Amino acid sequence: MGLYSLRRLLASVLTGVIASMLVFLLVRAVPGDVVAQMLGQTSDETAARTLRAFFGLDQPLWQQYLRWISQALQGDLGQSWLGGQAVGEKVGQAFLVTAEIAIFTLLAAVAVGLPLGMLSGIYDGRWGDLLIQGFNLLGLAAPVFWVGLMLLVFISATFGWSPPLIYSGPVDSLRDNLEMLALPVLSLGLLQAAACSQFVRQSVVSAFQQDYVRTALAKGVPVRSVFFKHILRNISITLITFMGLIFIQILGGVVIVESLFAIPGLGRLLLSAIEGRDYPVLQGALLVIMLCALVVNLVIDLLYRVIDPRVRLS
């Protein structure tokens, strides 16, 4: 276990280095640069030169990369080129907001999707299954921005209520925090609950077709016992994989929902950084998402062994 963990850790570091290079190069592949954005269309050439030199954009790419990565390894992600704020602070604040959304969404998705998926799998082919599959289809097909917009407009028109506009952390004001996150979590949760339900359903249906389940049922073991003792344990690995994937997906992919509900999270930060060609912020945010993905993957790998000792860690 120890050797395996060390090996996985080293592989993660290597992946991180390669990914950091990709991040660095990809953000620079976007046409246009920050100086043009800052100075506008009638900018002065001297001012543009001064700014390029100030940002180090006049240096070769490899030098820029080495400077950035060496600072990042020391915990310094630099400063935003547009606003001047510390990138670490900016990304950290945004990360906490998005992580909160991701956790709530995950809980909502599992709370709704897991029982629905199990019921659907157990009653495969019956009307209950069809009903749940209809819900799954709707949830998977409806675009998140559309669901969010409809919820916002519907609730506003019906109850004359809309979420607060200025984000408050759970410590500052739990009520404001929950009011602000309710609709975004609901919008994202519908899709993820549907995905979770579908995922679990497939696993349950597939498990019911396994020889050991058929044998147990043939020997007269009650369905409930078979389900909780054999099937649930076997689908837990796929469920954990699913949860990890969803968490990473939400961290990097809530741009539309965060923009729609004016939430100061990672997605909105990424979008504004791309629009402004704010490379340090863009790199910092992508690096954090990437590191999260590595950590989550590592944790999931290690959890496999905990859940099922038969899994070989090699």
Determine which residue in the list 165, 171, 211, 218 makes contact with another protein, applying CB under 8 A. 165
36 near another protein, rule: CB under 8 A: yes
Q: Are 18 and 69 in contact (CB under 8 A)?
A: no
171 near another protein, rule: CB under 8 A: no
84 near another protein, rule: CB under 8 A: yes
261 near another protein, rule: CB under 8 A: yes
| 60 Cβ contact list (under 8 Å, min separation 6) | none
71 near another protein, rule: CB under 8 A: no
Q: Which is nearer to another protein, 25 or 30 (CB)?
A: 30
How far separated are the first and last CA of the chain, in Å rounded?
Answer: 9
Q: Give the rounded distance of the alpha carbon of 200 from its chain centre.
A: 20
Q: Kindly state the smallest distance separating residue 185's Cβ from another protein, in Å.
A: 16
161 near another protein, rule: CB under 8 A: yes
Fill in the DSSP letter of residue 30: S
209 near another protein, rule: CB under 8 A: no
Pure H helices in the chain: 2-29, 34-39, 45-55, 61-73, 87-122, 127-141, 144-159, 174-208, 211-218, 223-226, 232-253, 255-260, 266-276, 279-307
Determine which residue in the list 77, 90, 194, 230 makes contact with another protein, applying CB under 8 A. 90
The owner of tokens 């050797």 is 3
Q: Kindly state the smallest distance separating residue 189's Cβ from another protein, in Å.
A: 19
3-class DSSP state of 51: helix
Q: Kindly state the smallest distance separating residue 281's Cβ from another protein, in Å.
A: 9
The owner of tokens 């699913």 is 242
Query: Which residue ranges make up the site for another protein (CB under 8 A)?
Result: 30-33, 36-44, 46-48, 50-51, 54, 79-80, 82-85, 90, 94, 149, 152-153, 156, 160-162, 164-167, 259-262, 264-265, 268-269, 271-272, 275-278
